[in-house]
Amino acid sequence: MNQSPDLAREALIREMDISMTIKALSLKIMAGGRLSPEEGLQLYQQGPTGLLGMLADTIRIRKNGNKAYFIRNHHIEPTNICINKCLFCSFSHHFSPERWELSIEEILTTVGTLDDSIRELHITGAVHPDRDLYYYGDLLKKIKVLRPTLAVKAYSAVELDQMIRKAGLSYSEGITYLKSCGLDSIPGGGAEIFDETLRKVICGMKTTSTAWLEIHETAHRAGISSNATMLYGHLETPAHRIDHLDRLRTLQDRTLGFNAFIPLKFRNSNNKLSDLQETSPVDDMKLYAISRIYLDNFPHIKAYWPAIGKQLAGISLSFGVDDLDGTINDSTRIYSLAGAEDQNPVMTVSEMQDLITSANRIPVERDAWYNPLGS
C-alpha cells in the first residue's frame, strides 16, 4: 500500500540532514502542532528553504487543497497627499513627482466604466489631512447606488484612524457608520512592521501598531472582515518578522476576522531607503513559507504579484501561497512608483489561469470572500 503524502513527507524529514531541533519542529508541524515565537524564529533562521517550502505546502494543501484563487478587481487610489512621511514610501506627494486628489465625481466616473465582471473595488491611498469620515462615507454610498453588487474593500487602518479621530468618534462608532454606508471589508495596508522602536524610525508619524490591531479587531467584531500585511526587506530583522506574525496570529485567535495575510516586499526606488538592497527571491520564498507555517489560523496566504512580479508569484504557489490577488487592470501606482518590474500592472483572466496551471494548481476565480464563482 502506498504511503499517504503526509507520511511520505514525515519519512523524508526523518532522513534529511538537518539538526535534531529542526527535525523535531518539522515533525511537530506535520502533526498539526503550533510553533511558539521562539520555535518559529529558530525554524525560520535555520530551516533549509526546501524544507520550509515542503512544510508550507503541506499546510496549504490541508487548508485549500490544490486550489489557487484569483479575483477580477480594480484599484482606486483617491489621493497621494499624505500627512505621513514614511521613509519607505515612493507614493505620497512628499516623494513622488506626481500629486493628485481625485474628486468623488472623478471616482464615480471610473466606477461607472468598470466591466460588469469586476467583483471587487479596492480603495486605499494616502492619509489626506482634510478629508473626513463623512466624505469617505458619502463616497461609499454613491458607489453602492451606482454598483450595488460590487464588493468594496476600502480604507486601510491608518486612513480609518485619521478620519475617525477627525470626526471625534470611537473606532466602533466610525466603523459602524462606514458599514452602514456600504463598506464590505478592509485592506491590510499600513501594518508595515509592528515593532514600535523600528516603526518610529521608518514611519514615526503613522498610526501605532496597537491602534492598527485595535481597528482591525473592532472591524471584525462589527462583522467586517479584513486582510493583514507586513512590509519586509527594509531595516527589520527575522525576529521583528516573527513578532509581527505572532501579533496577527494572536488577534486572529480572538476574532477569526482576517481573510488573508499578504507579505509586501520593500522596493527601493524613489524613497528615503533607496540605499538598501532588496531581498533576494530565496528570501522572499522563505518568508512566504514561514508565514504559511506560523499563521496556522489564517485561511489564505496571498502573493501580491505587482510587488514581486508574475514569475515569482507563480513560484510562491510552491511555498504556501494559495491566492494571487487579481487582474488589477493597471489601476495601482504604489509599487510602480517604487520601481517594481510591472510598471503597468495588469493580468488578464487567461494569463492568471495559465500562471496558476503552470504551477500545477487549479485556478479558482473567487468573490471578495473567497467563495468560488462558476465558470
pLDDT-derived band at 375, boundaries 50, 70, 90: low
Helix H or strand E encompassing 262: strand 258-265
Of the candidate ranges 95-99, 250-254, 298-302, the one whose mean pLDDT is the lowest: 95-99
95-125 per-position pLDDT tens digit: 666 777 899 999 999 999 999 999 999 999 8
Question: For position 125, what pLDDT does the model report?
Answer: 86
The model's pTM: 0.94
Label residue 332 exposed, middle or buried (CB < 10 Å: 0-12, 13-18, 19+): buried
Residues 302, 69: Cα–Cα separation, whole Å = 9
**How big is the chain by its Cα radius of gyration, in Å?**
20
Q: Using CA of residue 130, residue 132, residue 136, residue 139, what is the dihedral sign? A: negative
Handedness of CA 41, 202, 305, 189 (dihedral sign): positive
> In sequence order, what are the residues at sequence separation of 6 or more whose Cβ sits closer than 8 angstroms to the Cβ of residue 364?
67, 68, 69, 70, 372
DSSP-assigned letters across all residues of 319-362: TT--EEEE---S---HHHHTT-S-SS----HHHHHHHHHHTT-E
Tell me: pLDDT of 363 over 70.
yes
Which residue segments constitute the domains of the chain, with CATH numbers given? 5-63 (no CATH), 66-365 (3.20.20.70)
List the grid coordinates of 374: 462558476
Which has the closest alpha carbon to 200: 162, 235, 250?
235
Cβ burial, residue 369 (10 Å; 0-12/13-18/19+): exposed
Burial class (CB in 10 A: 0-12, 13-18, 19+), 101: middle
Per-residue model confidence as pLDDT tens digits over 133-175: 999 999 999 999 999 999 999 999 999 999 999 999 999 999 9
Q: In the predicted model, what is the mean pLDDT of residues 290-296? A: 98
Q: Strand pairing partners for 263? A: 230
Cβ–Cβ < 8 Å for 301, 295? yes
* More confident call, 5 vs 36: 36
Contact 81, 126 (CB under 8 A): yes
- Nearest one of 69, 14, 5, 68 to 318, comparing CA atoms: 68
pLDDT band for 17, please (50, 70, 90 cuts). Answer: confident
Assign 268 a pLDDT band (cuts: 50, 70, 90): confident
